[in-house]
Amino acid sequence: MTDLLGEANTPWAATPDGLLVKSRTDRDWTWLPGVGAQLIFYHRALAQSSTFGLDGTALVSDQLTTDGGQTWRPIPAELGLEPDSSSAAAFAPDFIHSRLALVAWKSSDSAWGGAKAVVSVDGAVTWQIKLLPALSPYPRVALIVNRGAQAHRFFVGGDGGLVFSDDHGQTWTLTGAPVRIQSVVGLVTMNEGGATILYAATKPRGVWRSTDLGVTWSEFNRRLPNGHACALDADRDLLVVGLCDGGVYVWRAAPPGWEPLGAPLPGGVASLLVQRGLASGTLWAATAGGIYKTNLFGLPSFETRWFPLIP
């Protein structure tokens, strides 16, 4: 499995064997062996702070960097984060002020085989352990959303549904039906008319939309051929979903519905990265066969630019 994240034109790709980084100026990828390396079937924590360009803070698996990836240090081992388990991470969108960060992972030391999380309120300097008793033991997504007046809502989702916390992980609540019991593979927010709208990609029931930060959900699958979603990403006004069969679809407002972007990609879609410029939009898609790139405002087909997963 390969996961993508990044800003501007600087995507990162976390592969089973390490981290690949593409800079703004380099045409090739820089290989950082061992950083974030995991078994191929695990989803690993992968997140950059909203101010990454200023503070260089990011998480890959159990490794933390505060200098843009030049050096890495592990999250303290005594917290019990297991790098060979499924995990997810998030930074608050106002990280520069709130200093909030979250990592969740499958925990093998829990008698009931559940999940754990660690929360930081000081910019990933120190961490506090939190239990996630209501969640499936395979976290795949994490998100922190501003709720106004310095309030935040934490989300952690996975193969067994989605939970949220309004008190920095002290207590957790199952989100509304039917997302609460679906396999959640993607979770993003979009600003629509000044309101924060939450979108969840699920398998096998497609995309769902919430206007109340996960309390209730409405189906969002118009013209989507099947519900087997494997990836979701958004940036500004662009929302893109990737299906497990390799199909990639972008949401169009007029007429409302999902529109396919070219033919399905080989190997199925594991991860998406949308990068929205002022007059352009770039989409990166990671599959079992490599990484693909396309201009969202050009021809509706993928320009193949991929590399093999380096052994």
CATH of the domain at 153: 2.120.10.30
**Band (286; pLDDT cuts 50, 70, 90):** confident
In a domain, 194, yes or no: no
| pLDDT, tens only, 164-177 | 999 999 999 999 99
In a domain, 120, yes or no: yes
Angle at 243 between CA 240 and CA 244, to 5 degrees: 150
| Per-residue pLDDT at 154 | 97
Q: Is the pLDDT of residue 309 over 60?
A: no
CA–CA separation, 127 vs 144, rounded Å?
A: 16
CA–CA separation, 264 vs 243, rounded Å?
A: 9
Residue that wins the pLDDT comparison between 137 and 265: 265
| Per-residue pLDDT at 165 | 94
| Per-residue pLDDT at 27 | 62
Q: What total of structural domains would you count in the chain?
A: 1
Residue 122, both tokens: 């000081």
CA–CA separation, 159 vs 51, rounded Å?
A: 30
| pLDDT, tens only, 100-113 | 999 998 877 654 45
| Per-residue pLDDT at 42 | 56
| pLDDT, tens only, 2-58 | 677 765 456 777 776 667 777 655 566 776 655 655 434 456 788 999 888 889 899
In a domain, 197, yes or no: no
C-alpha count within 13 angstroms, C-beta hemisphere, residue 52:
22
Please give the residue range of the domain that contains residue 149. Answer: 42-169
72 contact partners, CB below 8 Å, separation of at least 6: 35, 60, 63, 64, 65
In a domain, 239, yes or no: no
In a domain, 283, yes or no: no
| Per-residue pLDDT at 132 | 79
C-alpha count within 13 angstroms, C-beta hemisphere, residue 276:
10
| Per-residue pLDDT at 263 | 83
pTM of the model: 0.89
| pLDDT, tens only, 220-258 | 999 998 889 999 999 888 899 999 999 999 998 878 899
| Per-residue pLDDT at 17 | 65
Angle at 128 between CA 124 and CA 133, to 5 degrees: 125
Mean pLDDT of the chain: 82
Mean pLDDT across 277-306? 69
Mean pLDDT across 263-272? 88
Helix (H) or strand (E) holding 52: helix 52-55
In a domain, 99, yes or no: yes
| Per-residue pLDDT at 279 | 64
| pLDDT, tens only, 75-101 | 887 787 776 677 899 999 999 999 999
| Per-residue pLDDT at 253 | 82
| Per-residue pLDDT at 139 | 87
Angle at 104 between CA 99 and CA 106, to 5 degrees: 165
Lowest average pLDDT, out of 118-127, 139-148, 298-307, goes to 298-307
In a domain, 223, yes or no: no
In a domain, 261, yes or no: no
